[in-house]
C-alpha cells in the first residue's frame, strides 16, 4: 500500500512539473510574439521617417534650401530610433524607438512647412497644443494657416460650423454680439 501511495505522489509531482513547464513555454512564446509585434510597429514608424527624410532631402536640394528648420533634428531622431530599435530587447525599448521616430516625424512636418510645402500626413500624438507650439516654433505661421492647422487637428472632435458662416472667427463674433444685445440675456 505504501508503494502505491508513493507511486501516486510521484505521478502527481511529475504531472505538476509538466503543467508548469507547459505554462512557462506558453508564456515565453506569448512574450516573444508581443516583442515581435512591438518591434514591427516601431519598425513601421522608423521606416516612414526614413522615407519622409529621403523625399524631404530631395525637395530641399531642388529648392536650394540651405538648412530647413527641423531637417537636422529629424535626421538625428532617425539615427537614434534605428539604434534603439536594433538594441531593443523589450516592448518598452521598442516603444521608446517608436516614440523617437514619431518625434522625428514632427520635425519633418516642421521642415516641410519651412520649405513652403504641405506638412504631409498627420502624425500620432499631435494635438491642438502641439500644432500651435510647432507653428510658433517654426516662425513661418499666419493666423489663417494656424487656424487651418488647428481645425484640421481637431478633426472629427470639433462641432461643425453653423450654415452661413465659413470662418470660425465670424461665428464666434456673431455669438458674442448676440450675448451683448439687451434682449438676449439668458436667465
Residue 163 is predicted with a pLDDT of 56
Q: How far apart are CA 147 and CA 66, in angstroms?
A: 29
Residue 128 is predicted with a pLDDT of 60
Would the CA dihedral through 72, 78, 83, 84 be positive or negative? Answer: positive
**Domain ranges within the chain, ordered by starting residue:** 41-141
Q: How far apart are CA 113 and CA 65, in angstroms?
A: 12
Binned average pLDDT, 10 residues per bin, the chain of 187 residues = 87 93 91 90 93 83 71 90 93 91 89 82 68 64 69 57 54 61 54
> What grid cell was written down for 100?
523617437
Residue 156 is predicted with a pLDDT of 45
Residue 109 is predicted with a pLDDT of 87
Residue 39 is predicted with a pLDDT of 94
Amino acid at each position: 500500500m505504501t508503494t502505491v501511495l508513493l507511486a501516486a505522489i510521484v505521478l502527481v509531482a511529475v504531472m505538476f512539473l509538466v503543467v508548469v513547464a507547459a505554462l512557462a513555454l506558453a508564456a515565453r512564446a506569448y512574450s516573444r510574439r508581443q516583442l515581435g509585434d512591438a518591434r514591427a510597429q516601431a519598425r513601421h514608424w522608423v521606416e516612414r521617417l526614413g522615407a519622409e527624410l529621403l523625399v524631404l532631402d530631395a525637395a530641399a536640394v531642388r529648392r536650394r534650401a540651405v538648412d530647413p528648420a527641423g531637417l537636422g533634428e529629424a535626421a538625428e531622431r532617425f539615427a537614434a530610433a534605428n539604434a534603439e530599435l536594433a538594441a531593443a530587447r523589450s516592448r518598452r525599448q521598442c516603444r521608446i524607438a517608436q516614440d523617437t521616430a514619431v518625434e522625428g516625424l514632427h520635425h519633418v512636418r516642421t521642415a516641410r512647412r519651412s520649405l513652403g510645402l504641405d506638412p504631409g500626413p498627420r502624425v500620432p500624438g499631435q494635438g491642438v497644443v502641439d500644432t500651435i507650439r510647432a507653428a510658433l516654433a517654426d516662425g513661418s505661421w499666419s493666423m489663417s494657416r494656424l487656424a487651418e492647422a488647428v481645425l484640421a487637428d481637431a478633426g472629427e472632435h470639433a462641432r461643425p460650423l453653423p450654415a452661413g458662416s465659413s470662418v470660425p472667427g465670424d461665428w464666434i463674433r456673431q455669438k458674442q454680439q448676440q450675448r451683448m444685445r439687451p434682449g438676449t440675456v439668458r436667465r
